[in-house]
């Protein structure tokens, strides 16, 4: 009886390796942390499209990666839960992105990832990143066709005291940056409710005056706390 049991254990171990024998988990994912202040859209942080969070990370170089599982923990929660999964469709070294549309404003969320290979091996957790979305500013003008080559940018304030700073971002429609203004104190806007900023008031623009063509612009905000902010929706205008 003792001999039969030994044979059974050997057979069981052999069969477990017979499914491919892959017991090596993938390497932990590398999450791209929020930039300070955060210009690139393919980094963890807010997006102009809506009130949601974008996670970004570097795709691993394993040839048997199947998916990435996304885990989230909101402030006040004690356990992170899986809130999404993303199949691997990118080449190694590419940047993968995933948008979390189930978040609330002014709540800090913490995220980490696990990589999973085709046989189900899970990696160790990635580093944790966190962010807190703030209300967006509302672009008003310029929009449509304009004749001014040094336009005045008007935008509505969300009237939220957590918004400490703001700036204007202007770019061509292909994403080429033309002007990223210096950060401005948003305290006065909390009272006035509207902001007015002249193009290139700080001398930071690529051109002193905008050339004829189509552009888009938005307003970024940043809070006093680290990794808090928002990006407004894009507003399109055409300089004649």
Same domain for 28 and 76?
yes
Instruction: Give me the pLDDT at residue 159, please.
Output: 84
| Total domains in the fold of the chain | 2
Q: Which of 160, 146, 130, 177 is CA-nearest to residue 223?
A: 160
Identify the helix (H) or strand (E) that includes residue 17. Answer: helix 2-18
Same domain for 30 and 125?
yes
Instruction: Return the ∠ at Cα 226 (arms to 222 and 230), rounded to 5°.
Output: 30
Structural domain for 121, as ranges? 23-133
Instruction: Give me the pLDDT at residue 50, please.
Output: 92
Question: Average of pLDDT values for 213-224?
Answer: 96
Instruction: Give me the pLDDT at residue 8, please.
Output: 33
Instruction: Give me the pLDDT at residue 158, please.
Output: 85
Distance CA 71, CA 129 (A): 11
Instruction: Let me know if residue 17 belongs to a domain.
Output: no
Distance CA 231, CA 171 (A): 14
Identify the helix (H) or strand (E) that includes residue 97. Answer: strand 95-100
Instruction: Give me the pLDDT at residue 5, please.
Output: 39
Residue 87 pLDDT more than 70?
yes
Q: Measured between alpha carbons, how far is residue 202 from residues 78, 142, 157 in Å? A: 45, 19, 21
Same domain for 178 and 107?
no
Burial 129-168 (b: 16+ CB within 10 A, else e): bbbbbbbbbbbeebeeebeeeebebebbbbebebbbbbbb
CB distance 171 to 142 below 8 Å: no
Same domain for 152 and 220?
yes
Same domain for 68 and 33?
yes
Lowest mean pLDDT segment, chosen from 22-26, 53-57, 137-141: 22-26
Question: Average of pLDDT values for 205-230?
Answer: 95
pLDDT digits (tens, 9 = 90+) for 153-192: 999 988 888 999 999 999 999 999 999 999 999 987 766 7
Place of tokens 């940047």: 95
- Could you tell me the CATH number of the domain that includes residue 223? 2.60.40.1220
Question: Average of pLDDT values for 142-148?
Answer: 97
- Could you tell me the CATH number of the domain that includes residue 59? 2.60.40.10
Same domain for 126 and 160?
no
Same domain for 109 and 179?
no
pLDDT digits (tens, 9 = 90+) for 92-118: 888 899 999 999 999 999 999 999 999
Q: What is the mean pLDDT of the chain?
A: 87
């Amino acid at each position: 009886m003792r001999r039969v049991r030994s044979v059974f254990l050997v057979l069981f171990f052999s069969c477990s390796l017979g499914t491919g024998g892959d017991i090596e988990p993938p390497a932990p994912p590398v999450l791209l942390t929020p930039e300070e202040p955060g210009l690139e859209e393919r980094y963890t942080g807010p997006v102009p499209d809506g009130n949601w969070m974008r996670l970004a990370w570097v795709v691993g170089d394993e040839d048997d990666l199947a998916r990435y599982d996304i885990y989230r923990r909101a402030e006040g929660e004690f356990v992170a839960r899986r809130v999404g999964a993303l199949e691997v469709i990118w080449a190694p070294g590419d940047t993968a992105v995933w948008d979390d549309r189930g978040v609330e404003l002014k709540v800090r969320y913490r995220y980490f990832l696990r990589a999973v290979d085709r046989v189900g091996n899970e990696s160790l957790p990635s580093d944790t990143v966190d962010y807190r979305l703030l209300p967006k500013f509302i672009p008003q003008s310029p929009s449509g066709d304009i004749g001014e080559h040094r336009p005045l940018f008007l935008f509505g304030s969300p009237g939220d005291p957590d918004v400490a700073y703001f700036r204007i971002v202007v770019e061509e429609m292909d994403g080429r940056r033309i002007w990223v203004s210096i950060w401005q104190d948003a305290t006065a806007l909390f009272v006035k409710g509207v902001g007015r900023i002249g193009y290139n008031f700080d001398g930071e623009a690529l051109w002193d005056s905008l050339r004829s063509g189509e552009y888009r612009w938005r307003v970024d905000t940043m809070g006093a706390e680290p990794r808090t902010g928002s990006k407004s929706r894009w507003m399109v205008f055409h300089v004649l």
